[in-house]
């Protein structure tokens, strides 16, 4: 089933079929109809591989994620897949494993597979490397703000999100609010720390370094953080975890010490993972619109590909109140 067979069936040349397929040139109506009919009858589907080799467009978009099984980015991948699909593009997912060298290898690989563009979900690549890459191929990157030719970035307001979360706690009367941080290498982690401090300040509360305990964005680190906090004997009535996974770990550590959420300690997370609404108790958290992030990133890519200038903005952070916080007694 090739373009040649369609051409023969429609009584036109191979080039004409190609042009109709690509909308590359005006074609006489009669021929267009004949070709459309032949395509329909034969059930012809153009071969993206050959297209990629010949024309440069492979109709596929490389997507560099950190881990294909991330509970956090899953929704973004789905958003990308669902908006690319109607446009005829397929995503090619690869995992960077939070490693700049691996991400660089992914890019080489995606190049060799002739992707038409690359979407980078966060990642460790330097801004420079990203900008260089964008010189060859359109790229959309999330988790940073950068302006460079061929590059479009989409960033979430982590500062504001963290400020909102902390403010919720100060509004409830909490004065000793612990913060489980993320690693410093993550720009969003440092932004969230900034937001925490800003909210404290707004509430007229002093920043207490002993109340910030280091975490690493996964459950076990949240557990450990709470255990450390507890054994430090530093008093606290609420915890803001820099992401939901750590909040889940924190809840477990609290539970093991027979401390109840929210009666004994209030807990707020960040991300609003799919599972957080089913936590015990359902977790109050900052909603991060990952599904939309994926959709928007894909839309921006489609616009870049069409030669347009994307004008896409991320939605503002939003606090989702569930059952893990309580007004400070007394």
Contact (CB, 8 A) for 286 and 269: yes
Q: Is 57 in the site for its own copies (CB under 8 A)?
A: no
Which residues 206-245 are close enough to bind its own copies by CB under 8 A? 219
Strands 238-241 and 177-181: parallel
Given its own copies, DNA, none, residue 248, with its beta carbon under 5 to 8 Å by kind, binds its own copies
187: how many CB neighbours lie within 10 A of its CB?
A: 15
Interface with its own copies (CB under 8 A), residue from 96, 161, 182, 249: 249
Nearer to its own copies, 34 or 84 (CB): 84
DSSP assignment string, 18-79: HHHHHT-S---HHHHHHHHHHHHHHT----HHHHHHHHS--SEEEEEES-TT-TTTHHHHHH
DSSP assignment string, 86-102: GGT-EEEEEE-TT-HHH
313: how many CB neighbours lie within 10 A of its CB?
A: 9
User: H/E/C letters for each residue in 172-226?
Assistant: CCCCCEEEEECCCCCHHHHHHHHHHHHHHHHCCCCCCHHHEEECCCCHHHHHHHH
How near is the Cβ of 170 to DNA at its closest, in Å? Answer: 58
Which residues 258-277 are close enough to bind its own copies by CB under 8 A? 274-275
Given its own copies, DNA, none, residue 12, with its beta carbon under 5 to 8 Å by kind, binds DNA
Q: Is 251 in the site for its own copies (CB under 8 A)?
A: yes
Q: Which two tokens stand for residue 19?
A: 């042009």
Interface with its own copies (CB under 8 A), residue from 101, 280, 306, 316: 280
Phi-psi region of 111 (alpha: psi -120 to 50; beta: other; left: phi over 0): alpha
Burial class (CB in 10 A: 0-12, 13-18, 19+), 251: buried
Given DNA, its own copies, none, residue 27, with its beta carbon under 5 to 8 Å by kind, binds DNA
Nearer to its own copies, 77 or 211 (CB): 77
Interface with its own copies (CB under 8 A), residue from 28, 36, 68, 171: 68
Nearer to DNA, 27 or 146 (CB): 27
Output DSSP code: residue 126: -
Site pattern 14..53 for its own copies (x: CB under 8 A): -------------------------------xxxxxx-xx
Given DNA, its own copies, none, residue 25, with its beta carbon under 5 to 8 Å by kind, binds DNA
Q: Which two tokens stand for residue 186?
A: 């993550």
Q: Is 310 in the site for its own copies (CB under 8 A)?
A: no
Contact (CB, 8 A) for 177 and 186: no
Site pattern 288..307 for its own copies (x: CB under 8 A): --------------------
Number of residues that bind its own copies (CB under 8 A): 43
Q: Is 279 in the site for its own copies (CB under 8 A)?
A: yes
Distances (CA, A) of 25 to 15, 16, 37: 11, 9, 19
Given DNA, its own copies, none, residue 175, with its beta carbon under 5 to 8 Å by kind, binds none
**DSSP reduced 3-state for 131:** helix
Strands 284-287 and 318-320: antiparallel
Given its own copies, DNA, none, residue 31, with its beta carbon under 5 to 8 Å by kind, binds DNA
Given its own copies, DNA, none, residue 19, with its beta carbon under 5 to 8 Å by kind, binds DNA
**DSSP reduced 3-state for 304:** helix
Interface with its own copies (CB under 8 A), residue from 278, 306, 315, 327: 278
Where along the sequence are the contacts to its own copies (CB under 8 A)?
A: 45-50, 52-53, 58, 67-71, 74-75, 77-78, 81, 90-95, 108-109, 112-114, 219, 248-249, 251-252, 255, 274-275, 278-282
């Amino acid at each position: 089933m090739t373009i040649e067979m369609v051409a023969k069936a429609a009584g036109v040349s191979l080039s004409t079929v190609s042009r109709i397929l690509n909308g590359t040139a005006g074609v006489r109506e009669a021929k267009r109809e004949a070709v459309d009919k032949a395509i329909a009858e034969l059930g012809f589907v153009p071969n993206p591989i050959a297209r990629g080799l010949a024309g440069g467009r492979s109709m596929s978009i490389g997507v560099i994620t950190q881990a294909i099984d991330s509970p956090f980015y899953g929704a973004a991948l789905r958003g990308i897949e669902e908006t690319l699909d109607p446009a005829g593009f397929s995503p090619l997912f690869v995992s960077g494993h939070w490693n700049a060298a691996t991400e660089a290898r992914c890019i080489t690989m995606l190049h060799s597979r002739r992707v038409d563009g690359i979407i980078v979900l966060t990642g460790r690549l330097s801004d420079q490397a990203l900008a260089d890459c964008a010189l060859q191929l359109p790229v959309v990157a999330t988790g940073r703000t950068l302006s460079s030719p061929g590059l479009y970035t989409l960033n979430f307001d982590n500062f504001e999100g963290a400020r909102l979360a902390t403010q919720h706690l100060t509004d409830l009367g909490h004065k000793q609010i612990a913060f489980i941080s993320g690693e410093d290498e993550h720009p969003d982690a440092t932004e969230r720390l900034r937001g925490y401090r800003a909210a404290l300040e707004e509430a007229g509360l002093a920043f207490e370094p002993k109340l910030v305990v280091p975490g690493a964005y996964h459950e076990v680190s949240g557990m450990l953080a709470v255990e450390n906090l507890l054994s430090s004997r530093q008093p606290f009535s609420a915890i803001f975890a820099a992401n939901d996974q750590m909040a889940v770990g924190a809840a477990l550590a609290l539970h093991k010490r027979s401390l109840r959420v929210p009666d004994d300690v209030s807990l707020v997370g960040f991300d609003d993972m799919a599972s957080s609404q089913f936590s015990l108790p359902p977790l109050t958290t900052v909603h991060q619109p990952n599904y939309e992030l994926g959709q928007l990133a894909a839309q921006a890519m489609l616009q870049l590909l069409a030669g347009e200038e994307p004008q896409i903005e991320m939605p503002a952070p939003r606090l989702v109140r569930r059952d893990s916080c309580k007004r400070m007694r007394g």
